[in-house]
Structures are given as C-alpha cells and as structure tokens.
C-alpha cells in the first residue's frame, strides 16, 4: 500500500464553469491534488444548473466539484483579481497551475505568467481560434447526430451525455499532468490551449470517422442500434424489457448460436449466403437476417431467462436500465466505486469516486459550499489574519465564508 496520494502536493487553481474544466479539476482532486475552484462572488453561470435538489442546490454543480475547495473573489475589483495572482504566487512548488475556461485577459497565460514564470496554464475554449462553442454545437458540427438513431429518422439525434465536455475535461487533466512532469524535469512551465471542437475532431479522427470520409468518401449510414462493422443490437424480451447483445469475435458468435439453439440454421444460412459468420464483416453484412433469426428467441424469454441461458457463455449482453433502476436494483449500493456522502443542500447520497482504483486515493468527498473555503485558503496560502479577511469581506473584495 502507498499511503501517499498519487497527486499529493499538487495545487491547482481552477476558474471554471459548466462541465469540462470542472471535471478536469475534479479528476485531479480525486487523485489527491488540492484543487481550489475560484468563482466570482455569487458564483458562476453554472451554479444553478439543473437538475436541482428540492433545496434548489444544483446536483450538477455539486457533482462536478466534489473534493475541491471553493474560494470566491470579486473579479470586478482589481484587488479581488490581485488576490488570485497572490494565491498563484503562493501556491508552492506543486502549484503555479491554472485550469480555466474563462476568457478574460487577466486570467490568460501572458498575464499570469508574469506572476509565476513557471506557470502551467491550460485554457479550455470553444474553437482553437477563440470562437465560442459548447458541447451541443460541437456535436452538431461533427457528424455524429446525423448517423445516430433509428434508420427511419430524417433529422439529427442529439446526445444526452455531453461526451465532448467529458473528453475535454479528461484531456485537460492529462495535459496538466504532462506539463507538470516536464516542469519537474526542466523547470519550464507551459501554455496549453484545448479547444472543445478540436477534442471532437480528434476523437472522430482517432476512431476512423474522418479517415472513412476522406478515403472511402461516403457517409456511414444510419443503422439504428446496430454496431457498425460488427454484430450487436438490442432485443425485446418477453417482459417488454430490452437487452443489448454484442458479438465481437468468432467465439462470441459460436457461443450465441449454441446458447440460442440456432447453430444449425446459422450454418445453413452461411452456406446459402456463402458467408462465414465467424468473420466480423460477414456478420455485419448479414446483420438483418441474423438478428431476425435471433429475435424470437429473445422475445420468448424474460430477462431472467436470458440471463440463465447466456450464463457461462462468452456472449456480451446487458439489460437496458434507467438511472432509477440503478438505485432500485442495488447496483449503486453494491459497487465500491460509490460511497455515501453528505452533500450540503442535498443530503445523504451515494456518489462515485474516481474510476481509477489505485491505492492512496480516497472515496468520494462532498463538493464545497460556494465560497466556504475563502477564509481558510487566504489564511493558509497568504497568511492573512482573521481581521484582514474580515475587512476584505466587508469591503466586498472577497465573498463571505
């Protein structure tokens, strides 16, 4: 066991809102970094983002800011802005790190590098050229909504998961750690920009979508819940519930054929079509007839019966669940990823920690109340007295703790 948290000694100042930058900071906080989210007095534009607890506390904000400390400064006042620079200067050898999606010049790299020459500064923005964009406009611009959803559909299907924001936040965590590694070796800081639109384009490229458009020159068709180039689809079961079934290898297919008693019909069909369903391409080409043959098997069984009959096989499958099912069926309670926390304004709930299971990390910790750590951070990093801090609060330079 390592007693030391992986990111022990790292201090990050985060001036952020919405998903990407807060998730990036939280990812580091979950591994032991001291992440101080600094907001304008009264909070950022994301403070009241839905869903809300009955108290009005945002479940979104509290979800994305767990384990951080919260400081509020008056960004409209030069003295408030200067305090951020003072915190940066005082943040120690593992500090001098700023993560932000705010666009103000006083928060940009050139201004802050004057305070801390070894600054590591990561700027999240919409487009590389500085134009604004958010997950939902980036997603529209990138090609996925027009190939998502039922074949019969004509318009786009937006995602509910802001996948680009999530990827962007994780890339931000990677970028800060990579830059800090270099700084430890060379002493040099880094100015990093990370555009949400570039995250989407990069991932689309990594997965072959951009190569396909360039090399093959056609658009992938909309294929409903099928998996492109493979055999995977949802099936309705006897109870009306759906299951997702995924066949990636020859063995998966052989196991599925055997478990469903369809080995002979599939073999006949392979002869008829001069196909080999052990090959991924042939499974994909003939996906409609293969899944049509499978449908009655699933339609005649409840999920429990599917589970029984596929047990011990290599077939990959899952019941479709709702978020409330995850609560009701005990999935959340049974998974050590989640632990009970008491979140101010929300109450007791099961919250996830980092999915990176490694020693030296703790379970989930609540998000701070906005501004709750202002006094402690100013005292701890800047050595300000309670009287100094009280005076700053009274003058409106900092928020009340």
Could you check whether the bond before residue 51 is cis, i.e. omega within 30 degrees of 0?
A: yes
Q: Is residue 312 near a copy of itself by the rule CB under 8 A?
A: no
- For the chain, the distance separating the N- and C-terminal CA atoms, rounded to the nearest angstrom, is 37
Place of tokens 């924001």: 165
Which 34-53 positions form the footprint of a copy of itself (CB under 8 A)?
A: 45, 48-51, 53
Please, which residue, 193 or 297, has the CB nearer to a copy of itself? 193
Residue 28: closest CA among 59, 61, 69, 83: 69
Q: Is residue 311 near a copy of itself by the rule CB under 8 A?
A: no
Q: Is residue 396 near a copy of itself by the rule CB under 8 A?
A: no
Are 197 and 127 in contact, with CB atoms under 8 Å apart? Answer: yes
Which 61-100 positions form the footprint of a copy of itself (CB under 8 A)?
A: 62-64, 66
Q: Which residues contact 371 (CB under 8 A, 6 or more apart)?
A: 39, 41, 70, 71, 72, 399, 400, 401
Q: Is residue 162 near a copy of itself by the rule CB under 8 A?
A: yes
Q: What is the DSSP string of 197-237?
A: HHHHHHHHHHTTHHHIIIII-SPPPP-TTSPTTSEEEEEE-
Q: Is residue 31 near a copy of itself by the rule CB under 8 A?
A: yes
Using CB under 8 A, count the residues that bind a copy of itself: 155
Of the residues 165, 198, 255, 282, which is catalytic? Answer: 165
Quick one: which of 108, 111, 115, 134 contacts a copy of itself (CB under 8 A)? Answer: 134
Q: Which of these ranges, 172-180, 255-263, 286-294, 301-309, lies near a copy of itself under the rule CB under 8 A? A: 172-180
Establish whether 165 is a catalytic residue.
yes
Which 181-210 positions form the footprint of a copy of itself (CB under 8 A)?
A: 181-182, 184-186, 188, 190-195, 198-199, 201-210
Measured CA to CA, the distance from residue 387 to residue 96 in angstroms comes to: 27
Please, which residue, 199 or 257, has the CB nearer to a copy of itself? 199
Q: Is residue 346 near a copy of itself by the rule CB under 8 A?
A: yes
Which 243-302 positions form the footprint of a copy of itself (CB under 8 A)?
A: 243-244, 246, 248-249, 280-281, 284
Measured CA to CA, the distance from residue 25 to residue 38 in angstroms comes to: 12
Q: Which of these ranges, 147-155, 294-302, 368-376, 381-389, lies near a copy of itself under the rule CB under 8 A? A: 147-155
Partners of 348 in beta bridges = 342
Measured CA to CA, the distance from residue 339 to residue 332 in angstroms comes to: 9
Quick one: which of 273, 304, 358, 376 contacts a copy of itself (CB under 8 A)? Answer: 358
Q: Is residue 108 near a copy of itself by the rule CB under 8 A?
A: no
Give me the least distance between CB of 216 and a copy of itself, in Å please: 7
Q: Is residue 338 near a copy of itself by the rule CB under 8 A?
A: yes
Helix (H, G, I), strand (E, B) or coil at 125: strand
Q: Is residue 320 near a copy of itself by the rule CB under 8 A?
A: yes
Q: Indicate the helix (H) or strand (E) that contains 40.
A: strand 34-40
List the catalytic residues. 165
């Amino acid at each position: 066991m390592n007693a030391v948290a992986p990111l022990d000694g790292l201090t990050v100042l985060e001036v952020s809102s919405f998903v990407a930058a807060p998730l990036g900071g939280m990812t580091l906080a979950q591994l032991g970094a001291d992440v101080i989210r600094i907001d304008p007095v009264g909070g950022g534009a994301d403070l009241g983002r839905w869903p809300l607890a009955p108290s009005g506390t945002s479940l979104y904000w509290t979800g994305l800011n767990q384990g951080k400390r919260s400081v509020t400064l008056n960004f409209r006042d030069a003295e408030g802005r200067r305090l951020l620079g003072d915190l940066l200067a005082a943040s120690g050898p593992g500090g001098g790190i700023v993560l932000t999606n705010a666009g103000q010049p006083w928060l940009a790299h050139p201004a802050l590098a004057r305070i801390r020459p070894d600054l590591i500064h990561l700027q999240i923005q919409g487009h590389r050229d500085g134009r604004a964009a958010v997950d939902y406009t980036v997603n529209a611009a990138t090609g996925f909504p027009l190939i998502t959803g039922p074949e019969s559909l004509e318009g786009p299907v937006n995602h509910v998961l802001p996948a680009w924001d999530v990827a962007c936040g994780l890339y931000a965590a990677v970028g800060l750690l990579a830059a800090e590694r270099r700084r430890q070796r060379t002493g040099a800081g880094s100015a990093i920009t990370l555009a949400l639109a570039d995250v989407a384009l990069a991932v689309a490229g990594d997965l072959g979508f951009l190569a396909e458009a360039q090399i093959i020159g056609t658009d992938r068709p909309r294929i409903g819940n099928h998996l492109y180039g493979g055999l995977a689809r949802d099936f309705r079961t006897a109870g009306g519930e759906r299951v997702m079934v995924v066949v990636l290898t020859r063995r998966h297919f052989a196991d599925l054929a055997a478990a469903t008693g369809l080995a002979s019909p599939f073999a006949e069909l392979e002869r008829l079509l001069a196909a080999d369903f052990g090959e991924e391409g042939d499974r994909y080409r003939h996906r409609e007839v293969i899944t049509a043959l499978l449908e009655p098997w699933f339609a005649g069984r409840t999920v429990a019966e599917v589970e029984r009959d596929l047990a011990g096989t290599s077939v990959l499958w899952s019941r479709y669940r709702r978020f409330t099912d995850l609560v009701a069926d005990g999935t959340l309670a049974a998974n050590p990823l989640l632990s009970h926390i008491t979140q101010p304004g929300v109450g007791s709930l099961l919250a996830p920690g980092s999915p990176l299971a490694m020693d030296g990390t703790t379970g989930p910790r609540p998000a701070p109340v906005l501004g709750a750590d202002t006094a402690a951070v100013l005292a701890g990093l800047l050595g300000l007295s309670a009287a100094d801090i009280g005076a700053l609060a009274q003058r409106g330079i900092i928020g009340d703790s």
